[in-house]
Chains A and B, each alone.
Chain A
């Protein structure tokens, strides 16, 4: 079984709808992240969480919210989806390694289309 799973894998929705993307991990990592991937822009951080009680905004958090329900679960919500939120979304986990280096472990991604 995959260590980091995301549901759904694909979603098509309409402008104004509320959408939730879910992420679960079995790696036992404390740190979880949500990224957005757009062609030519690489991966941009939306939100990150160090533990259940610690939620932090990333560089592009506007229009998004998150919930860390448990150590293993981190969900991303779009309260009112808009077309420019059409993108590939990745959840990732990490565990601070030696020398202070975070290696990120990514889920398979959710392709979201907002019409």
Chain B
């Protein structure tokens, strides 16, 4: 089955600096890669996603890159702000249509933005 590894497990950055979280996956059939942000006391919420036919996607200060050959994808947050402090999860899900495409989550990265 799919295996998703996520690094680092904790990350501290100064406000205004950039943060990068990296994930690798094992199943070459995976074709959808979402990123979730989990704030304290809340459930994870989707912040950005990328599909395997795209190499990069941006949404304001957040970007995700995908390297299918190397089977890794990364989350980039620029100009970090204290409200970016949270736990971030990457995930990978398989290809095909219909049925259940199992979503495998990474183990999470706790990001702390220091004012």
When each residue 32-53 of chain A gets 1 if its CB lies under 8 Å from chain B and 0 otherwise, what string results? 0000000011111100101000
Q: Report B77-110 residues with CB < 8 Å from chain A CB.
A: 89, 93, 95-98, 100-103, 105-108
| Contact A102–B103 (Cβ < 8 Å) | yes
Contact of B42 among A92, A105, A109 (CB under 8 A): A109
Q: Which of the 9-residue segments A11-19, A64-72, A75-83, A93-101 touches chain B?
A: A93-101
Q: Interface size class for chain B?
A: 20 to 34
Residue ID in chain A nearest B46 by CB atoms: A103
Residue ID in chain B nearest A38 by CB atoms: B107
| Contact B43–A106 (Cβ < 8 Å) | yes
A-side interface residues, number (CB < 8 Å): 24
If A56-B100, A101-B93, A102-B93 touch, whether A40 touches B31 (CB-CB below 8 Å) is no
Provide the residues of chain A in CB contact with B105, threshold 8 Å: 42-44
- A-B contacts, 19 listed (Cβ < 8 Å): A41-B107, A42-B108, A44-B105, A45-B102, A45-B103, A56-B100, A90-B44, A96-B98, A100-B32, A100-B96, A100-B98, A100-B101, A101-B32, A101-B49, A101-B101, A104-B103, A108-B41, A108-B42, A109-B41
Q: Which residues of B contact A (CB under 8 A)?
A: 6, 9, 31-32, 34, 36, 41-46, 49, 51, 89, 93, 95-98, 100-103, 105-108
